[in-house]
Copies of this chain bind each other. A is one copy, B any other.
Amino acid sequence: MRLTLHTDFALRVLIQAALNDGALTRINDVAKSFGISKNHLMKVVNDLGQKGYLDTVRGRNGGIRLMRKPHDINIGRVVRDTEDELAVLGCLDQTGYCRIERVCVLRGAVRSATNAFLAVLDGYTLADLIKPHKALSNLLALDRQAGVRAV
């Protein structure tokens, strides 16, 4: 039971963009910070753009920035928006998946469990995730301090 890398990377992009507090963040810097392939990251950024999370400025001095304030970005919502498959069992998103689905107690239990998972994440906004602002910024700026910033 693993969230996709798409969701994983989306959350990390949002954290790094939020730490930059309105300034543009270069995709190369995010790729470098987290050791993620730039190609994969571009897909994530495009998706977050289409879904109203990120503005993208093209060109040499371009980059990304949040479209909304961090406290207006709910983490449960982000996961619902980025995760293709939140149905942890096939019967939760298909009919005819299993012969007993009409009366299955397990199906309801697993649906409740998934709702409980999301409800915890609904209790967090992106502003909560960047509360250790200084420590996070320091960790993500290591390359820059070492003078090997990606270009």
Contact = CB atoms under 8 A, between A and B. Distances in A.
Contact of A99 (B11, B34, B113, B116): B34
B136 A124 contact: no
A99 B1 CA distance: 23
B110 A121 contact: yes
Interface string A77-106: 000000101111110000000111011111
Interface stretch (A20-28, A45-53, A127-135): A127-135
B75 A109 contact: yes
Interface of A: 1-4, 8, 11-12, 15, 33-35, 75, 83, 85-90, 98-100, 102-106, 109-110, 112-114, 116-121, 123-124, 128-132, 135-136, 139-140, 142
